[in-house]
């Protein structure tokens, strides 16, 4: 399960999880979780993410054998554990750790790029399934 959270602060200061988004990498099913969800009304449209409460989303997330996220080890999972009172015992694929392993000289590359006159080209992400984090979780 690929996931990401949005909070009101950094790891030790966060007191609220605003949203939890998940993508089941096996089925392609998407989930959007907030405390302002109305499942009876918000799940009426097919082709959109399934909407559920944060509590239901966290239960689904922590039932997964493997989670994948960017900075999941040092941010997302500890915040969810602390604020939910639950513990995750499965496997974690952290794309931040993977990127550091693959590009150990990233700071050097960034500094060289900053000295050049050419800015980075940023391509927009149009669909969740095409987002780079999804593809990197298959490594």
List per-block mean pLDDT (blocks of 10 residues) for the chain, which spans 139 residues: 96 95 94 78 63 95 97 97 97 92 79 70 45 43
Domain assignment of residue 80, given as a range: 2-136
Domain count, the chain: 1
41, 21 contact by CB (below 8 A): no
Rounded-to-integer distance, Cα 107 and Cα 111, Å: 6
Q: What is the pLDDT of residue 118?
A: 65
Rounded-to-integer distance, Cα 46 and Cα 93, Å: 30
Rounded-to-integer distance, Cα 58 and Cα 63, Å: 8
Q: What is the pLDDT of residue 117?
A: 61
Q: What is the pLDDT of residue 86?
A: 97
Q: Is the pTM for the entire model greater than 0.85?
A: no
Rounded-to-integer distance, Cα 5 and Cα 80, Å: 9
Rounded-to-integer distance, Cα 33 and Cα 123, Å: 27
**Burial (CB count within 10 angstroms: exposed 0-12, middle 13-18, buried 19+), residue 49:** middle
Q: What is the pLDDT of residue 104?
A: 80
DSSP letter at 21 equals E
CATH number at residue 97: 3.30.420
């Amino acid at each position: 399960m690929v996931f990401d959270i949005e909070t009101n602060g950094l790891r030790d200061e966060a007191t609220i999880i605003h949203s939890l988004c998940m993508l089941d990498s096996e089925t392609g099913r998407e989930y959007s979780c907030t405390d302002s969800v109305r499942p009876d009304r918000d799940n009426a449209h097919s082709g959109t993410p399934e909407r559920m409460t944060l509590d239901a989303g966290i239960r689904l997330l922590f039932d997964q054998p493997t989670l994948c996220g960017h900075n999941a080890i040092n941010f997302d999972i500890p915040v969810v554990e602390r604020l939910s009172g639950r513990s995750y015992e499965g496997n974690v694929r952290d794309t931040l750790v993977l990127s550091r392993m693959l590009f150990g000289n990233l700071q050097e590359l960034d500094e060289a790029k900053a000295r050049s006159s050419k800015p980075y080209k940023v391509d927009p992400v149009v669909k969740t399934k095409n987002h780079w984090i999804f593809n990197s979780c298959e490594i």
